Amino acid sequence: MPARRKARKRALDVLYEADLRDRPPVEVLASYLDRIERPRPEHIGYTVSLVEGVAAHLSRIDEVIASYTEGWTLDRMPVVDRNLARIAVYELLYVDEIDDAVAITEAVELARQMSTDDSPRFLNGVLGRIAEYATR
């Protein structure tokens, strides 16, 4: 598995736990980092960047997602999908070195592995519309 995919998966783990436990993502991240053996894997730096970035921009990210999920509220989305969308939207809006197509593809692939059968198609559609907005 490529390093950035591992980083996204780890960021998803942290954001998922924070969401379920209703705790700040950065607090859950600190606990997660304490449990990782040293030397830390190479991808951990990007994991930290993703979690901290999502946490810092969470209100705006959720606002964008909510405005593009026709007929779905954030609370109605599966927790995995909601947090995959948050990671992807963070990358779409705030990480210039990641191509939009890569951010979307990675979210869809992780949804394929970890969520419902309908999740990849749903996320692909929502993130595709957001990417169009982000490039305007």
Q: Domain segments of the chain: what residues?
A: 3-134
CB 18 within 8 Å of CB 27: yes
3-134: CATH topology is N-utilizing Substance Protein B Homolog; Chain A (1.10.940)
The percent of the chain in helix, strand and coil, each rounded to the nearest 5, is 75, 0, 25
Q: Which residues neighbour 15 within 8 Å (Cβ) at sequence distance 6 or greater?
A: 25, 28, 51, 54, 83, 86, 87
Mean pLDDT computed over 96-101: 94
Task: Indicate the pTM of the whole model.
Answer: 0.94
More confident position, 35 or 72: 35
Lowest mean pLDDT among 5-9, 40-44, 51-55: 40-44
Band of the pLDDT at 119, cuts 50, 70, 90? Answer: very high
- Enter the DSSP assignment of 76: G
